[in-house]
Amino acid sequence: MATTFTSVYHSGGREDQYLGTWKIVECVSLAGTVDTTGIEGSEFHLDDSGDVSWKVADDVDAMPFFNSDTYEILFPPGKMNSDQLKFFGTLAEHVIEFNVEISGELMLLTCDRCCMLQCQKVSTDYSKGDCHYTFGRALDEGYFSDLVITAESGHQFQVHSLILGLSCPEMDWWHTPPPLTGIREDVLGTLLHYLYTECLPKGLSEETVKVCIKTVGTLPGMDNFIKLCNAFLKNTALRQQIVNLIGDMHTSADRIIEMFKCKKTPITPGTIPEDALAANPPRLCYIMKQAAREAAIASSKFVLLCDLFARRSGELPQEERHEIIRYARSRLPIFVKQLKEFFESFKYQMSFVGPNEKQEIATYILPEVETLFSMVTKFTEEFKAALNKAITKNISDKEKGEEKGEKHKHVKDVLGKTLRHVLHVRELKKLKFMHDTASKKFESAFEKLDRFNRKPNAEKIIRVSLIIDELKDREAPMLVGRVEQLALVLEEKFKWRQWKYLFKLGSSKVAWAVNKMCCYKATLASSIQQMVEMVHKDEFTASLTSLGLYSADKPQDGETPSQPDRTTASYAHLSSVESLCVPPLARNSKLAKRSIDLLKKGQKTDMMFEIIIVHDVGDTVIDHTHGGEPVARTDDRDVDVHQIPAHRVILASRCNWFCRALLSGMRESIDKKITVHDTNPEVFNLFLEYLYSGQVRVEGCTTEQLSDLLTLADRYEVRTLTVSVSSY
């Protein structure tokens, strides 16, 4: 792993040429023919944090790499044309690898035994300066309100028929009384916040959201609001589930530490404290069994957390995935501290173990050790059997897939089938490698276990005593030192990008293993049942049940146990809570699209811009009437006055300068007119279109026009427009 990251971060700047958005323009088979696969036009964006995002048409067949959310670029030392791009997080821990040839704006991706994808870099500068689109300020401050909606409590909300009509044109906002009148105040506030911002307000309670769903269930035009509310309920439950899993792991660790703590100190040097476990071997054996149970619970919670993240994180926006990973990272120092505290307590307890105590402890522990050995032996045998079944099934599926592929060949499906075939072969190799490795290790372990079992009890006790000596004199002190070193490594070496990659990799591997165990759980059933009985804790049993590894309902004789549906596990769908409370970007906002349409049609306006253009004597007057109507001259001066109608509430919400001018009580607010000099209607209309839509398209504009647009952005303090125009 260290080598991988070294190759990425010491690439001499070569990674920068990969960053940005790439469009797949052509798919070429390894035979040299151009195939129409349907993925042409799909785009992927590589950012500098190691994340990849995809933009794919709805009717495109799903490709394995479309589910990837992480990428990695490897730069072999001394080889300038041997780069490798890996898309990670595709199919349950699979990594799809492409060899890369890149030249300027072109990139050729070659997948082994599959195809070549020719990609073209595309500009994404339009997104610079793009901000969240909202009219929330108008709702909060109530300026230019022309409508009042009264809640059940009597509280009145000052609102705007113009904005409500843009947000939900299906309702008759001019009806008396207006829609939503008389409903609960918190529900009405939530609904109005959504209508002005296209998102939910922060700090919502589950009870309020449930009432919202019930209240607006039959109202027209509120489908997206209902969708957000349902997502909120699922996300809140899931969020709490993630926090609870990590909290449960901390709790189990605290319980184990508490078991091994020695609360009293020796009365005299060389004596054993009254509550030292070494003074009470039966209690020590009991505590060790209880600690093992707690460790099993913590481990099951960890597996559940990894499985949950790996299976549902794809439904999350990028920032929400990152938030979960950051939260997990923030808990690491606490886990390390708990681990260190445990080993220090264990080391202190072992320091009181003398020759007599050691012999007695070994005598008590021996039956537990034999039981554990028996269970491990049984589990390994069943695990090998499950691996054999998995390998046999994969070979059978591969042959069936090849036979089916020969009968039903469609050019459109070639790429997807070939990629899945590559992944299938790779998984088969992995299973075979695991089987061979496990077989060798199991044989060695079985030999040792067999030799141990053949020994008389007296020799077994001596052997256990030697293990206790090893723990007391060497392992316990060494483990404390290793934990301290681990804390330093996590702090210094595992920066954000490495940690994010490792977290995704680890959770994906765990999820893959769980999935395979679920597929063959009938083979592992007796071992899992024995584990459940040995741990004998409801939390452990519940975790295995949630993972699909255990079912309390035993099948009847001759009945095949049903396999769990891993795609509909008992998890809530993972989607963000925070992202539901953030207004959409302008390019995704329905309010923005409807607002710019309103400007272009000139409907429901309540103010006017006057663009004053002064011409030198003798100049030919040019008609600058784009978006406005000319006004006849009233004197002999070469002055043109062009009027552009607009909407005060939209301008005040989208521009602080206009908000101050229109609310100041000065001439602009009284006359509902703003006079503009030193520009022309064409450029000023571009400026207004940005305020209304949140986006600006300046292709075809001259340098002078761009300069004038920047001047307007500076004059009226619209910094996001400055960023957008400067990016061209």
For residues 427 and 347, give the distance between their C-alpha atoms in angstroms, rounded to a whole number.
43
Averaging pLDDT over each range in 191-205, 388-402, 438-452, 481-495, which range is the top one? 191-205
CA distances from 85 to 19, 111, 597 (A): 12, 10, 43
Q: Which residue has the higher pLDDT, 622 or 670?
A: 670
Domain ranges of the chain: 16-121, 235-263+275-397+429-547, 588-618+636-727
Q: pTM to 2 decimals?
A: 0.61
For residues 168 and 136, give the distance between their C-alpha atoms in angstroms, rounded to a whole number.
15
CA 641 to chain centre: 53
pLDDT of residue 625: 43
CA distances from 202 to 102, 175, 319, 330, 653 (A): 45, 30, 17, 23, 20
At 314, the pLDDT band (50, 70, 90 cuts) reads: low
Contact call for residues 533 and 552 (beta carbons, < 8 A): no
Residue 630: asked if its preceding bond is cis (omega within 30°), the reply is no
Report which of 144, 192, 143, 187 is spatially closest to residue 171, judged by C-alpha positions. 192
pLDDT in tens, 604-663: 999 999 998 876 555 444 444 444 445 444 445 577 889 999 999 999 999 999 999 999
At 116, the pLDDT band (50, 70, 90 cuts) reads: confident
pLDDT at 313 over 80: no
Lowest mean pLDDT among 164-173, 277-286, 538-547: 277-286
Residues linked to residue 102 through DSSP beta bridges, in sequence order: 107
pLDDT in tens, 464-516: 777 777 766 677 667 767 777 776 776 666 677 778 877 887 887 888 788 87
Report which of 257, 272, 289, 295 is spatially closest to residue 365, judged by C-alpha positions. 289
3-state per-residue secondary structure call for 617-639: CCCCCCCCCCCCEECCCCCCCCE
**pLDDT over 90, % of the chain:** 25
Q: For residue 697, what are its two tokens?
A: 């398209």
pLDDT of residue 158: 95
Q: For residue 299, what are its two tokens?
A: 């481990």
Averaging pLDDT over each range in 331-335, 440-444, 527-531, 652-656, which range is the top one? 652-656
CA 162 to chain centre: 37
Q: For residue 261, what are its two tokens?
A: 């703590």
Lowest mean pLDDT among 144-153, 170-179, 523-532, 575-584: 575-584
Domains 16-121 and 588-618+636-727 share a fold: no
SS3 21: strand
Q: Average the pLDDT over 571-587 and give the result.
A: 66
Architecture in CATH of 16-121 = Beta Barrel (2.40)
Q: For residue 265, what are its two tokens?
A: 């100190």
Averaging pLDDT over each range in 12-16, 283-287, 320-324, 551-555, which range is the top one? 283-287
Q: Average the pLDDT over 244-264 and give the result.
A: 88
For residues 595 and 329, give the distance between their C-alpha atoms in angstroms, rounded to a whole number.
43
Q: Which residue has the higher pLDDT, 92 or 130?
A: 130
Look at the block and give the residue holding tokens 């209304």.
692
pLDDT of residue 620: 47
At 83, the pLDDT band (50, 70, 90 cuts) reads: confident
Q: Average the pLDDT over 191-195 and give the result.
A: 96
pLDDT of residue 250: 93
Phi and psi at residue 175, to the nearest 5°: -75, 155
CB atoms within 10 A of CB 59: 6
Candidates 3.40.120.10, 3.90.1150.10, 3.30.710.10, 3.40.190.10; correct CATH number of 588-618+636-727? 3.30.710.10
Q: Which residue has the higher pLDDT, 356 or 176?
A: 176
At 222, the pLDDT band (50, 70, 90 cuts) reads: very high
What single DSSP character describes residue 51?
B
pLDDT of residue 567: 39
CA 421 to chain centre: 28
Contact call for residues 419 and 63 (beta carbons, < 8 A): yes
Q: Average the pLDDT over 35-47 and give the result.
A: 78
Contact call for residues 526 and 378 (beta carbons, < 8 A): yes
pLDDT of residue 591: 95
Contact call for residues 300 and 458 (beta carbons, < 8 A): no
Contact call for residues 640 and 621 (beta carbons, < 8 A): yes
Q: Average the pLDDT over 126-153 and give the result.
A: 87
Based on C-alpha coordinates, what's the Rg of the chain? Answer: 34
Lowest mean pLDDT among 73-82, 290-299, 674-683: 73-82
Contact call for residues 291 and 552 (beta carbons, < 8 A): no
Averaging pLDDT over each range in 152-156, 309-313, 397-401, 472-476, which range is the top one? 152-156
pLDDT in tens, 712-728: 999 999 988 888 877 66
Provide the residue type at 226 as one letter. Answer: I
pLDDT at 1 over 50: no
pLDDT of residue 5: 32
For residues 60 and 62, give the distance between their C-alpha atoms in angstroms, rounded to a whole number.
6
Report which of 45, 44, 43, 25 is spatially closest to residue 35, judged by C-alpha positions. 25
Look at the block and give the residue holding tokens 């975790």.
543
What is the average pLDDT score of the chain?
A: 77
Helix, strand, coil percent values for the chain (each to nearest 5): 60, 10, 30
pLDDT at 412 over 50: no
Polymer length in residues for the chain:
728
